[in-house]
Structure 1
Amino acid sequence: MLARTDLRGRTPSTAELRAALPRGGVDVDAVLHQVRPMVEAVRDRGAEAALEFGEKFDGVRPASVRVPAAELERALRELDPAVKEALEVAIERTRKVHADQRRKDTVTEVVPGGTVTERWVPVERVGLYVPGGNAVYPSSVVMNVVPAQTAGVGSLVVASPPQADFGGLPHPTILAAAAMLGVDEVWAVGGGQGVALLTYGGTDTDGTELVPVDLITGPGNIYVTAAKRLCRGLVGIDAEAGPTEIAILADHTADPVHVAADLISQAEHDVMAASVLVTTSVELADAVDKALAAQLEITKHRERVTTALTGSQSGTVLVSDVSAGLRVVNAYAAEHLEIQTEDATGVAAQVTSAGAVFVGPWAPVSLGDYCAGSNHVLPTAGCARHSSGLSVQTFLRGIHVIDYSESALKDVAGHVITLANAEDLPAHGEAVRLRFEALR
């Protein structure tokens, strides 16, 4: 079922590893020419243009961009009680984890009379994008909203595509999740036009202002990603999200049924989703292939999953031992990494590059998607080598506050002047010297 790459007995360089490993991805540059006119149209014509694009791509034109409060209340009132209970658990656990992420201001006394304070200030207004394509993602509402609220963001808006099946509103489960979290501003707009409208703002059909945001977070398709790239700078973005990924580092102790189920669980997201098994055991690899074939027979999204599993982005990598496997998964830097080995805890402690690490047989990625308390908005396409997932820190800005007395500045003035002259920026030094010497 899964294509195989055999690295046993080899010690490839980091560059060779990155080239050899299965990797999906999208060519954002290839659609920029399509998205740029959309962004420019929304910049120039605001909500009217966004609604036109929504009608073209989503097949429906809402009466307004902003979802009426009554619709949020109705969605919550009509929400399936079992779904509501599950969301309540997800919200409670996610709030608990993210509450411990909030940073405190620090004051450092550099010298007597000289301090540097680092203040952590929340972004003023954020736009939280929740996709609506192959699936419905109320969990993404939770994962975006909770860290923003915990950071102290004063104003936030959730944007999600209008649905023809629901009269131009976002999916009611999305609306209900927003209502549960106390979000009262939801925009029925998606795609590149949604990102553009969050960036530039405008006027809604009833004349009310659609206030632009300072930061946009949340995953989306290639058109959302392209729009985020085009708007970056005018607004902040969390990341350019690519197709979802799972890598599983497993040895002979892993249960092939569990491994296969977890590979399928990510593959059902998208035909470009990546499912990668890194293992020391040929026997396990064979057993996983058999389990995949059996489970595909009863998988709802069989065609989508099969396409993802047989694509070039998925496969099995055979390694000589767990140490070699760690080198592979650290080079791969998966969005989601499962460790299903002997001493899984010890092995997990050696992981240096992953969006999130799931330890042992009882921590599948799907737990993290919903109810672990962790965040599921994570770096893809190897970006976990340098970036983190969504967190409270995403919505905070560190501001240094420098407070020096006259004597503290005088004590270091000579060094400032010396360094300014060394960089051929004498006016920098003069700005200090003239505070202590009269201009002649």
Structure 2
Amino acid sequence: MTTPIELARVDLRGRTPAVAELRSALPRGGVDVDSVLPRVRPVVEAVRDRGAAAALEYGATFDGVAPDAVRVRADALAEALERLDPQVRAALEVAIERTRAVHADQRRTDTVTEVVPGGTVTERWVPVERVGLYVPGGNAVYPSSVVMNVVPAQAAGVESLVVASPPQKQFGGAPHPTVLAAAALLGVHEVWAVGGAQAVALLAYGGTDTDGQPLAPVDLITGPGNIYVTAAKRLCRGLVGIDAEAGPTEIAILADATADPAHVAADLISQAEHDVLAASVLVTDSPALADAVDAALTAQLPVVEHAERVRTALTGTQSGTVLVDDIAQGLRVVNAYAAEHLEIQTADAPAVAARVRSAGAIFVGAYAPVSLGDYCAGSNHVLPTAGCARHSSGLSVQTFLRGIHVVEYTEAALKDVAGHVVALADAEHLPAHGQAVRARFEALS
């Protein structure tokens, strides 16, 4: 007999907690990155000092296999694509096509502002020169992460891309063949068989492969990973740019009595499938829906492949049901929670979604589940977690672009504003700043 699933409940009805109190009251898990830094720092330092040799040694320890070289051979990429299941290839091609369509519209154009006659400031958008795209390989296989990382980088105009993914013992030390096939399908020619903290360090510092070929360092590292990957990103940040410190995945669903409990339960399960630390949160003004969702979770769990993982995630402190007085209060809750993925399953869902201010991505209505966004919506699934959607965005073309201001002033334009520059420089007790302007118009004593 299946043990019933009952999501823990937080009852906010009849209450109006302040934002700080609200955030602390909501279910939320997370990981303590600081706690693993002492274990990760030696890995990063060893790879910094000994390059590929150290990375391969850690791969043997953590992944149980060490390939002959870090860089995957070109013929292995071609073979993986040739052997790819036709249905999977067709699905990846649709995902790539839709993701390219969305991200192509994100490319920024340069702007020129004439501040005064003879004085212009141009904002020029320049792609990062070389990026490392991390694709995890733990509980699942993630060719979709190849798509979500590579497509916006290509749309931004990045010229040098390397995909890093853990070596797999069952595939002779190569990354999973579906990951290799996705890279090949996207035209990526450089893939490294390295994972975990050692992958981040090798991307950041570079080195020399076992065959003597250089492994060039990157300027930016993107892509999700486990706590050790996140810790390595933290340690390497500054030497390289990073997209974010990603935590466990999460879904919040704002639903009312019009929602189908079977749909809600299926979507909560879909995120819990990722990881025992994944968060699945229902926010509703309908106690009857909350009860029906619990019943649907219990009914669906026996046929779920990763049932124990899902059960652990659903019954963890990071998951639960939040009862609210009405959808207005529910919006206040989901804005405070700032979920990585937020579904709106309410009457007039588009109008409710328009009032959301904090979410990584919003999925509107009964026919836009998070799973669609994971693969084929065209949106990006690399999104901020742990409440970071209050201040950060998901991966996009902008992630791979740098805005550079180009300042051009004529002699007359500078002379016209020189007095103001000098006045501000003197006010800040930085007279040499003013002198740098005066020197252009006055003889130096």
> Quick check: TM above 0.5?
yes
AA partner of residue 288 (structure 1):
V
- 1:259-292 per-residue CA deviation (whole Å, 9 max, x = no partner) reads 0000000000000000000000000000000000
Match 2:136 to one of 126, 131, 136: 131
- 1:13-63 per-residue CA deviation (whole Å, 9 max, x = no partner) reads 000001000001000000000000000000000000000000000000101
Residue equivalent to 1:288 = 293
Q: How far apart, in 2, do the equivalents of 1:386 and 1:401 lie?
A: 28
AA partner of residue 124 (structure 1):
E
Q: How does 1:373-412 map to 2 (within 5 A)?
A: 373-412=378-417
Q: How far apart, in 1, do the equivalents of 2:127 and 2:29 lie?
A: 34
Q: How far apart, in 1, do the equivalents of 2:151 and 2:29 lie?
A: 30
Match 2:353 to one of 336, 348, 356: 348
Q: How far apart, in 2, do the equivalents of 1:10 and 1:436 lie?
A: 67
How many angstroms does 1:434 deviate by? 1.2
Residue equivalent to 1:192 = 197
* Mapped pair 1:279 → 2:273: no
Match 1:29 to one of 13, 30, 34: 34
- 1:139-175 per-residue CA deviation (whole Å, 9 max, x = no partner) reads 0000000000000001010000000000000000000
Secondary structure of the corresponding residue to residue 322 of structure 2: strand
- 1:117-137 per-residue CA deviation (whole Å, 9 max, x = no partner) reads 000000000000000000000
* Mapped pair 1:365 → 2:370: yes
Q: How does 1:164-183 map to 2 (within 5 A)?
A: 164-183=169-188
Residue equivalent to 2:428 = 423
* Mapped pair 1:234 → 2:239: yes
Q: How far apart, in 2, do the equivalents of 1:411 and 1:238 lie?
A: 42
Match 1:202 to one of 200, 204, 207: 207
Match 2:228 to one of 223, 231, 237: 223
Q: How far apart, in 2, do the equivalents of 1:355 and 1:327 lie?
A: 16
- Percent identity between matched residues is 82
Match 2:152 to one of 147, 155, 158: 147
Match 2:96 to one of 70, 88, 91: 91
Secondary structure of the corresponding residue to residue 17 of structure 2: coil
Structure 2 unaligned segments of length 5 or more: list them. 1-5
Q: How far apart, in 2, do the equivalents of 1:436 and 1:327 lie?
A: 58
AA partner of residue 389 (structure 1):
G
Q: How far apart, in 2, do the equivalents of 1:398 and 1:202 lie?
A: 29
* Mapped pair 1:82 → 2:83: no
Runs of 4 or more consecutive aligned structure 1 residues displaced over 3 Å after TM superposition:
none
Secondary structure of the corresponding residue to residue 297 of structure 1: helix
Match 1:325 to one of 319, 327, 330: 330
Secondary structure of the corresponding residue to residue 88 of structure 2: helix
Q: How far apart, in 1, do the equivalents of 2:415 and 2:258 lie?
A: 66
- 1:153-201 per-residue CA deviation (whole Å, 9 max, x = no partner) reads 0101000000000000000000000000000000000000000000000
AA partner of residue 443 (structure 2):
A
Q: How far apart, in 1, do the equivalents of 2:298 and 2:209 lie?
A: 51
Residue equivalent to 2:315 = 310
Secondary structure of the corresponding residue to residue 108 of structure 1: strand
* Mapped pair 1:162 → 2:167: yes
Residue equivalent to 2:3 = none
Calculate the aligned-residue CA RMSD, in Å: 0.3
How many angstroms does 1:339 deviate by? 0.3
Structure 1 unaligned segments of length 5 or more: list them. none
* Mapped pair 1:257 → 2:258: no
AA partner of residue 314 (structure 2):
L
